[in-house]
Structure 1
Amino acid sequence: MTHQPSSPPRPDANAALADVTTSSARRYRGVGALAVAAVVAVTTSACGAITEALQDRNAGHTKEFSYDSGASGKAADVLPAWVPDDASDVRGVFRTTGDEVILTMDADLADLPAACSAVDADHPLVAVPARDGLTVEDYRVDSTLRATWWTTGQEQEATRLCDAWWVGAQDGALFAFTPELKAVKIEDQPDPV
């Protein structure tokens, strides 16, 4: 019986095997790195969202904003169209879980558009439902938001209706208010700064 030695692997076969092994290892390392990056991105995003949600809750689900002018606030799609473009020192607070907003700005009643109607028997201070199915009775008539520049009951002194906004003047500035739904939970807010 003759024994034939097995033929040694060809050099090109070893090279091909080495290439496959090396490229597979690189590929798996690349996929692993992508997986780690994805986990880090999701975790960071989730932590950011959780942190923001906690801050929002701790603020009584309210946020503040300010603009140098009415025009800049309208350009940012934050202020309603009736706000005069040349209003200055525009500040506001809104509830992230509802409809209520309070505003103040340096402007005059004379700067309001003609579409803003005077409060009278035909145009009383009532909520304007923001969505179908809601009625005036679904809204509160007193402000629940707080700011150092907003006095309790100030909304009741409004003399103009601009769309859904109750607008008035006090101490050379305009103030405005949109009522909150009764169904919205009013949470404690931090003391205004």
Structure 2
Amino acid sequence: MRGVLIGVVGAVAVLGVGAAVAVPEAREWFDGRHEQTSSYATGKEAKGERESVPRWLPDDAASVEYAMRTTGGERILKATLRDGRLPEPCEPLDGRSAPDPEISASWFPSDSASAAKGRCGSYYVALEGRTLYAWQTNGDWIAENRGSAR
């Protein structure tokens, strides 16, 4: 009986360690499975191919990188702007802080929230030279789309 008990305890210990390793990997796999990343030559092409790309992105923006989560409204965007200025409908943050993006990509800076300069619709935006970085949180996406499903 003691041998059976030791065997059961050992099996539970092995399964526990396996679960502790497998659960984070499963979550990473699940989260990554619901993210899509695309590249486009221009803003016009991006908006034509994907309805979720913000309409305020200038048609002549170049080298557009876009990532989104399919299970919510999390979005990130990188584009090169011809004139290096925020697009027309954007407004300055005026000292307000921006939240961190809720998804990531190798081409998107991890410190973007601290560099935020404005809002373009429901997106926070930062400029680095002529490079625009923009991100939308799920909460801002929900707020923007509230009532549109009616």
Shorter-chain TM-score tier: 0.5 to 0.7
Alignment partner for residue 84 of structure 1, among 58, 64, 68? 58
Q: Cα gap change, 1:109/1:179 in structure 2, threshold over 3 Å: closer, same or farther? A: farther
Distance 1:95 1:82 in 2: 20
**How far does residue 112 in structure 1 lie from its aligned partner after superposition?**
0.6
Q: Which has the larger radius of gyration?
A: 1
Contact 1:99–1:179 at 8 Å: present in 2 too?
yes
Contact 1:155–1:176 at 8 Å: present in 2 too?
no
Corresponding residue pairs, total: 109
User: Residue 110 of structure 1 corresponds to which residue in structure 2?
Assistant: 85
User: Residue 40 of structure 2 corresponds to which residue in structure 1?
Assistant: 67
**How far does residue 65 in structure 1 lie from its aligned partner after superposition?**
1.1
SS of corresponding position for 2:138? coil
After TM superposition, the structure 1 = structure 2 runs for residues 151-162 of structure 1, keeping only pairs within 5 Å, are: 151-162=109-120
User: Residue 94 of structure 2 corresponds to which residue in structure 1?
Assistant: 120
**How far does residue 95 in structure 1 lie from its aligned partner after superposition?**
0.8
Distance 1:176 1:153 in 2: 12
SS of corresponding position for 2:79? strand
SS of corresponding position for 1:104? strand
**How far does residue 111 in structure 1 lie from its aligned partner after superposition?**
5.4
Contact 2:77–2:134 at 8 Å: present in 1 too?
yes
Distance 1:64 1:152 in 2: 17
> What is the letter of the counterpart of residue 150 of structure 1?
F
List alignment gaps of at least 5 residues for structure 1. Answer: 1-55, 127-140, 182-193
After TM superposition, the structure 1 = structure 2 runs for residues 42-191 of structure 1, keeping only pairs within 5 Å, are: 57=30, 59-76=32-49, 77-107=51-81, 108-110=83-85, 112-113=87-88, 115-121=89-95, 124-125=96-97, 141-181=99-139
After TM superposition, the structure 1 = structure 2 runs for residues 30-41 of structure 1, keeping only pairs within 5 Å, are: none
> What is the letter of the counterpart of residue 84 of structure 1?
P
Q: Cα gap change, 1:168/1:58 in structure 2, threshold over 3 Å: closer, same or farther? A: closer
Distance 2:93 2:75 in 1: 19
Identity across aligned pairs (percent)? 28
List alignment gaps of at least 5 residues for structure 2. Answer: 1-28, 140-150
The two structures have a TM-score, normalised by structure 1, of 0.51
Q: Cα gap change, 1:97/1:166 in structure 2, threshold over 3 Å: closer, same or farther? A: same
> What is the letter of the counterpart of residue 106 of structure 1?
T
SS of corresponding position for 1:146? coil
Contact 1:125–1:166 at 8 Å: present in 2 too?
no
| Structure 1 vs Structure 2 CA RMSD | 2.1
Contact 2:90–2:118 at 8 Å: present in 1 too?
yes
Relative to its length, the structure with more strand (as a share) is: 2
Q: Cα gap change, 1:143/1:60 in structure 2, threshold over 3 Å: closer, same or farther? A: farther
